Amino acid sequence: MLILAVDTTTRFGSVALLEDTDLLVEINYTSLSSHSRQLFRAVDEVFRISDRKLEQVEGLAVAAGPGSFTGIRIGLSLVKALSLASGKPVAPVSSLPALALKMIFPGAELIAPVIDARKGEIFAALYRLKENGQLEELLPEGAYLPEDFLLKLPAAGKVEFLGTGSELYRELLTTRLGSRARFSRRSYYLAAEVGRIGYEILKSGGGQTSSALEPIYYRKSQAEEKKAGRQEK
């Protein structure tokens, strides 16, 4: 199954083309403002390098959140348009298990993907790496205050952190966990991992139509908060 995967949930944008779970091409870029221009170029470049066409794609995968509200909207809008044009199903994927997938390596015990949610919060989850190489969710995905998330962690075991939130709160994590806190040097680019998770969703018949796609936010956007505030007044 040829899959086009997209991630725009943070400033580290990426587009990948996979054959089942095998990565064919991945284009990574950093966007400090809007993903729009880089994203379209990356999609064109993926098809150019792979010598494939959109018509050959059998499924789409997109990181639907959590992350930047603007980035999520841009990624979803593109994938919705591609799905509508091609008639292909879409697998919405959370960016948190996609981050966790990058940290499946020998010696890993607890894996904590952490994304900066701004306003003093993080999007995070906690997984245990099982002997069969699968991830078991210990703490559910959601928006947390960093201190609250740390209080929910097990009292023992090394914790592998990755993501923009672990970068921002590294001093706090180290202070609270000491040598238990470990920080991966793996990149934050997620399109390949989004594609691999998306493949499992699509293979099992869980793909969605473009009209059914919804973002994964875990909290209201700034625009929604302002609207709610006006209604309360």
Residue pair 158/182 in contact (Cβ under 8 Å)? The answer is: yes
Which one of 163, 183, 203 terminates a domain? 183
Q: pTM to 2 decimals?
A: 0.91
Q: Say if residue 47 is in the same domain as residue 88.
A: yes
Q: Say if residue 55 is in the same domain as residue 122.
A: no
Q: Say if residue 69 is in the same domain as residue 22.
A: yes
Q: Say if residue 70 is in the same domain as residue 111.
A: no
pLDDT at 233 over 90: no
Closest C-alpha among 79, 56, 26 to residue 214: 79
Q: Say if residue 87 is in the same domain as residue 200.
A: yes
What's 208's DSSP letter?
A: B
The number of C-alpha atoms within 13 Å of 164 and in the hemisphere containing its C-beta is 20
| 144: containing domain | 103-183
Other C-beta atoms within 10 Å of 194: how many?
Answer: 32
Give the gyration radius of the chain's Cα atoms: 18
176 φ/ψ angles, rounded to the nearest 5 degrees = -80, -35
Q: Say if residue 37 is in the same domain as residue 22.
A: yes
Residue pLDDT, tens place only, 50-88: 999 999 999 999 999 999 999 999 999 999 999 999 999
Provide the β-strand partners of residue 17. 4, 25
**CATH for 172:** 3.30.420.40
pLDDT of residue 220: 62
Q: Say if residue 68 is in the same domain as residue 142.
A: no
Q: Say if residue 205 is in the same domain as residue 132.
A: no
pLDDT at 224 over 90: no
Q: Say if residue 16 is in the same domain as residue 90.
A: yes
Other C-beta atoms within 10 Å of 99: how many?
Answer: 32
Which residues of 95-196 form beta strands (DSSP E)?
Answer: 110-118, 121-129, 135-144, 159-162, 181-183
Q: Say if residue 171 is in the same domain as residue 228.
A: no
Count: domains in the chain: 2
